């Protein structure tokens, strides 16, 4: 059975890069009818951020990435927090010790820095020199007993054949062990480093496929050495392309501005965000008929690691907004009204109708807040261009003509205001020789106080006759000379 995992560190908010890694692991597991495991990598206690673990759970569930086993659900191969697996790591460290595959290294930070500077000056790869390799077991134990600080390092045979990884995305990838050198497995404080705990956990949790960013590729070669030394089966690795800015540069987290939490607050739907993240580095195949809008179920049906690209995926905010807008169109006005609650008590009963006015153009949920400005009494003083238009003699004549005729007909006929207003605007346009913006902008400015906004006639229907006539009358008064002091 296919078993994938997502193993975040609770050191901050879940950002787009990590969310995409989790999504690809989730989609592949579901596509193969396998299992998706959540493991919390909290070995580095000094870097933990309070509340981050809970935020990770919240964001994953909001995205629809529910795990089969994990800290909150449990499972047969738990615990699922690395901080609760210390005894397991220590037991496998002892196993490596018995196999003489590790040794204590007493190198000080100053010694390591001197080595680094020398290697740089000589143009050699930066790696540990192995200076404590030859220390006898007796001398090593003696120095440890004396309280001297040390780390445990993996003994790497630099003369052995290149390490070969058959990556699901990149094909066969090689690295010479000579480039790697003896790497640290346990820190001086007795805590395992990420790559050791990660390898042991993946093996014991029977993870079959590991999806991760290509920036982890160098770690993977080291972990393969750990797998082989401990006799573990190696999982299939899939190193995902990095995400770049639209200009092709390295993707920046921009101080958390692209965290899932912030994108949620900015009005993105989980379905829209998942749709876009899936396309960041993965190709769904021919979309000439279907387009690029996919539901979670459609993504699960299509997803395969073979279609993940090698080249950098460019992040495009406009495409994210476009896809999110398409997912907004799938929701009914009543569903949207629940996602964007009305903040104007007097419009509570008609909020779904108000949302319908701007739904066709909405790209994020926060766009629906714009309709609130059109429901309030216009502020004609905020836009000088609106003031100038309303003050013109032609506008005053046009508004006056339509206002009088509409009011008269509404009183006599009791017809729907939107029908009467549309007819009278059209009639005034013919008699005055006006059309397009010259005809409609004065009425948009009068009714909304702006040149932009929802379609005028549907808005008039929602506002009702009393409010429409009131706004036309107010616009004419504000447009007259000295109206501000009247």
**Which active-site residues does the annotation give?**
253
What is the full DSSP assignment across 96-148?
Answer: HHHTT-EEEE---HHHHHHHHHHHHHTTPPP----TTTT--HHHHHHHHHTT-
Scanning the structure block, which residue is given the tokens 């921009």?
254
Residue 255 is predicted with a pLDDT of 39
DSSP letter (8 states) at residue 281: S
CA distances from 268 to 263, 330, 355 (A): 6, 14, 16
Upper half-sphere CA count for residue 172 (Cβ side, 13 Å): 3
Question: Number of helices (H) and strands (E), helices first, in the chain?
Answer: 21, 11
Under 8 Å between Cβ of 474 and 483: no
Residue 249 is predicted with a pLDDT of 61
Residue 45 is predicted with a pLDDT of 84
Nearest to 134 by CA among 97, 99, 98, 104: 104
Residue 99 is predicted with a pLDDT of 96
Residue 161 is predicted with a pLDDT of 95
Domains and CATH numbers, the chain: 85-240 (3.40.50.620), 260-367 (1.10.1160.10), 377-485 (1.10.10.350)
Nearest to 49 by CA among 89, 2, 102, 12: 12
Residue-wise pLDDT tens for the chain (486 aa)?
999 999 999 999 999 999 999 999 999 999 999 999 999 999 888 889 999 999 999 999 999 999 999 998 999 999 999 999 999 999 999 999 999 999 999 999 999 999 999 999 998 889 999 999 999 999 999 999 999 999 999 999 999 999 999 999 999 999 999 999 999 999 999 999 999 999 999 999 999 999 999 999 999 999 999 999 999 999 999 999 999 876 656 665 443 458 999 999 999 999 999 999 999 999 998 887 778 999 999 999 999 999 999 999 999 999 999 999 999 999 999 999 999 999 999 999 999 999 999 999 999 999 999 999 999 999 888 889 999 999 999 999 999 999 999 999 888 777 789 999 999 999 999 998 999 999 999 999 999 999 988 999 999 999 999 999 999 999 998 867 655 444
DSSP letter (8 states) at residue 188: T
- Pull the structure tokens for residue 173: 């990838």
Residue 485 is predicted with a pLDDT of 40
Q: Which helix (H) or strand (E) holds 212?
A: strand 209-213
Tell me how far apart the alpha carbons of residues 229 and 156 are, in angstroms, rounded to a whole number.
10
Mapped onto helix, strand or coil, the DSSP state of residue 173 is strand
Under 8 Å between Cβ of 428 and 401: yes
């Amino acid at each position: 059975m296919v078993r994938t995992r997502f193993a975040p560190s609770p050191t901050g908010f879940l950002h787009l890069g990590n969310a995409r890694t989790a999504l690809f692991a989730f989609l592949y597991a579901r596509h193969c009818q396998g299992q998706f495991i959540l493991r919390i990598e909290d070995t580095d206690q000094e870097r933990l951020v309070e509340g981050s673990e809970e935020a990770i759970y919240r964001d994953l569930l909001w995205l629809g990435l529910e795990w089969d086993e994990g800290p909150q659900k449990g499972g047969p191969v738990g615990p699922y927090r690395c901080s609760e697996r210390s005894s397991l790591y220590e037991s496998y460290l002892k196993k490596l010790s018995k196999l003489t595959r590790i040794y204590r290294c007493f190198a000080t930070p100053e010694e390591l820095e001197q080595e680094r500077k020398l290697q740089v000056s000589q143009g050699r790869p930066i790696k540990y020199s192995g200076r404590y390799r030859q220390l006898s077991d007796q001398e090593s134990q003696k120095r440890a007993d004396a309280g001297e600080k040390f780390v445990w390092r993996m003994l790497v045979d630099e003369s052995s054949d290149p390490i070969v990884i058959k990556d699901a995305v990149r094909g066969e990838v090689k690295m010479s062990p000579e480039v790697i050198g003896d790497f640290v497995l346990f820190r001086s404080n007795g805590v395992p480093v990420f790559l050791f705990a990660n390898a042991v956990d993946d093996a014991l949790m029977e993870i079959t496929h590991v999806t991760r960013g290509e920036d982890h590729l160098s770690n993977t070669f080291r972990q393969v050495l750990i797998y082989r030394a401990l006799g573990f089966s190696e999982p299939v690795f899939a190193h995902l392309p990095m995400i770049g800015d639209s200009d092709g540069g390295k993707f920046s987290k921009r101080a958390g501005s692209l965290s899932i939490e912030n994108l949620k607050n900015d009005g993105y739907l989980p379905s829209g965000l998942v749709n876009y993240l899936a396309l960041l580095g993965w190709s769904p195949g021919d979309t000439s008929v279907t387009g690029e809008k996919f539901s979670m179920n459609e993504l699960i049906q299509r997803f395969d690691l073979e279609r993940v690209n090698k080249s950098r995926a460019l992040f495009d905010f406009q495409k994210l907004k476009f896809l999110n807008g398409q997912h907004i169109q799938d929701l009914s006005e009543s569903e949207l009204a629940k996602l964007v609650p009305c903040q104007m008590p007097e419009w509570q009963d008609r909020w779904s109708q108000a949302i319908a006015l701007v739904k066709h153009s909405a790209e994020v949920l926060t766009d629906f807040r714009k309709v609130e400005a059109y429901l309030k009494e216009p502020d004609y003083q905020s836009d000088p261009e609106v003031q100038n238009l309303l003050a013109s003699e032609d506008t005053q004549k046009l508004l006056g003509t339509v206002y009088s005729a509409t009011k008269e007909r509404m009183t006599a006929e009791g017809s729907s205001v939107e029908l009467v207003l549309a007819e009278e605007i059209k009639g005034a346009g013919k008699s005055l020789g006006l059309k397009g913006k010259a005809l409609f902008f004065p009425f948009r400015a009068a009714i909304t106080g702006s040149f932009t906004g929802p379609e005028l006639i549907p808005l008039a229907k929602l506002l009702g006759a009393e409010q429409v006539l009131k706004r036309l009358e107010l616009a004419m008064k504000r447009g007259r000379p000295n109206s501000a002091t009247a």
